Every structure is written in C-alpha cells, then in structure tokens.
Structure 1
Amino acid sequence: MEDCRPLGFLLGLPFALISLVISLVGAVIWVVGSAVSCVCPCCCCCAGLANVAVDLVKLPFKILKWFTEKFPC
C-alpha cells in the first residue's frame, strides 16, 4: 500500500473532469489538424497545432498524477 493516496485523487478529480472537457476540444483540434496536414503537407503550423492538441488530450492524466503525488497517504 505504498502508493495509496486517495486524498490526492479525490482533490484532483474536479480538476481532471474540467481538463477532460478541454481534452475533448484538443481531440477535435487534433483530428482537424491531421486532416489539414494530410491535404496540404506544406502547412507546418498544423503539425505544431496537432502536437499541442495531443498534449491537451493527455492533460487529465497529468493532473491526476500530479495531485496524487503531492498528497501523502
């Protein structure tokens, strides 16, 4: 039970739910950016936009991990 940190999980849950909505927006941006970069590969900005969108998709997991690491058991 070394990694038992329910308090950090419970406190981080509302923030993770908010970031889940943001990650859905990131997923839409990623799909649109990928489609545009396939149609016009000369658009370098679409690749950067897709990378930012992927970071937005990973955001809820990063937030929960950060909260659970900050609070002791």
Structure 2
Amino acid sequence: MGDCKPLGFLIGLPFALVALVLSLVGAVVWVIGTVLSCLCPCCICFAGLANFAVSLVKLPIKVMKWFIDLIPC
C-alpha cells in the first residue's frame, strides 16, 4: 500500500470539514480585501488581510496532510 493511511484520513475528516467552512469565510474575506486594496492601494493592511484569507483557504488541505502524517502506519 505504500504511503496510504486511510485511518488518518477518516480521523481528520471532521476537522477538515470545519476547516472547509473557515476556508469559505477566508474566500469572502479575500474578495473584500482585494477589492479594498484596489480601491485604496495606500492601505497596506488590506493586502495583509488578503494574504491571511488565502492561508485560510488553504487550511483544509493542511489539516488533512497533518492528520495523515500523524498516523504511523
């Protein structure tokens, strides 16, 4: 089977679903931050907000990889 760890996937699935909801919130925040940074490019905080939102969007993948790597076999 190699690197297949189905138990880690099953254990991490509920947490990944919560992270998916957070990533949807992050997508909305990213759109708002991008629009605001285009309207007022002098405000650097909106760019930081958009970068934070992008990390929220990537959160479900990170959570699943973390749980799968946590299971030894």
TM-score class, shorter-chain normalisation, is over 0.9
Matches within 5 A, 1:1-73: 1-73=1-73
Q: Distance in 2 between matches of 1:53 and 1:7?
A: 30
What TM-score, normalized to structure 2?
A: 0.97
Query: Which whole-Å deviations, capped at 9, do the CAs of 1:23-48 have from their partners, x for residues lacking one?
Result: 00000000000000011100100010
CA distance in 1 between partners of 2:50 and 2:60 (Å): 17
Q: Any stretches of 5+ residues in structure 2 without a counterpart?
A: none
Q: Partner amino acid for 1:3? A: D
For the residue of structure 1 that corresponds to 2:3, the secondary structure is coil
Identity %: 68
**Please, what is the CA RMSD of the aligned residues?**
0.6
Q: How many residues align?
A: 73
Where does structure 1 differ by over 3 angstroms across 4 or more consecutive aligned residues?
none
Gaps of 5+ in 1: none
Question: TM-score when scaled to structure 1?
Answer: 0.97
